[in-house]
Amino acid sequence: MKIQVNIASGIALYEQIASQLKQLIVTGELPEGYPLPSVRALAQELGVSVITTRRAYTELEQEGYVVTTPAKGTFVSHRYTDRLKELGLMRLSELVDDLVYLARSLGVTSEQLAEFVVDHYEYVSANPDEKAKLAQMLRNRRMRF
C-alpha cells in the first residue's frame, strides 16, 4: 500500500495515515470491498504504534470510508464510496467559488488564476508533506472572504 508517514511533520501520524487512505479510496485505488491490512500489520509496516493505526481506522470508519467487521477485518465501504466522491466534488466546488471570488476581488485574471492553480497543484502533488498540511487545513477551517 502506498502510504508514507513523516515523523518530523507537524501533522499527527494518524491524520497522515487517514488522509492518504481517504485519497486512495476516493480515487478508486482502493476499490469498494478492498480489505485493509490489520491494525497491527499496518502499524508494523509503517513503523508506528498500533494505537496510531487504530486511531486512523477509527476516523475512517466514523467518516464512512471503511467498515470494520469483527473477526473479519476492515474493508473499504460499499455504501459510501460514490457518496463520498460526490461530497468531495461539492466541497471542491465551494472552494473554487471562494477562490474565484478572492481572485476577482484582487484583480487576478482567469489566466493568472489558472496558472496559479496548476503550479500549486503540481507542487503539492510532488510534495507529500504539503498534501498532508493541505488536508489538515481543509479539515480545520473553511476560508470565507
- Give the model's pLDDT for residue 66: 92
Name the domain boundary from 58, 76, 94.
Answer: 76
pLDDT of 63 reads: 87
- For 64-121, give the DSSP string: TSEEEETTTEEEE-TTTHHHHHHHHHHHHHHHHHHHHHHHHHTT--HHHHHHHHHHHH
CA distances, 70 to each of 74, 83, 116 (Å): 8, 25, 47
Tens digit of pLDDT for each residue in 105-135? Answer: 999 999 999 999 999 888 888 887 776 676 6
User: What integer pLDDT is reported at residue 126 of this predicted model?
Assistant: 84
Q: What pLDDT does 142 receive?
A: 42
Confidence of residue 143 (pLDDT cuts 50, 70, 90): very low
Strand, helix or coil for residue 35: strand
What does the block give as the cell for 52? 496510531
Average pLDDT of span 45-64: 94
Chain segment 34-50, per-residue pLDDT in tens: 999 999 999 999 999 99
Q: State whether 133 and 96 are in the same domain.
A: yes
In this prediction the pTM is 0.60
CA 101/CA 145 separation, integer angstroms:
8
Domain shared by 70 and 87, yes or no: no
Band of residue 145 on the pLDDT scale cut at 50, 70, 90: very low
Share of the chain above pLDDT 70, in %: 86
Instruction: Give how many domains the chain has, as a whole number.
Output: 2
Res 1 pLDDT > 80? no
Same domain, 127 and 113: yes
| pLDDT above 90 for 74 | yes
Domain co-membership, 32 together with 63: yes
Please provide the average confidence, as pLDDT, over all residues in the chain.
86
Query: Does 113 lie in the same domain as 129?
Result: yes
- 136: domain range? 81-140
Higher pLDDT, 141 or 124: 124
CATH number, domain containing residue 25: 1.10.10.10
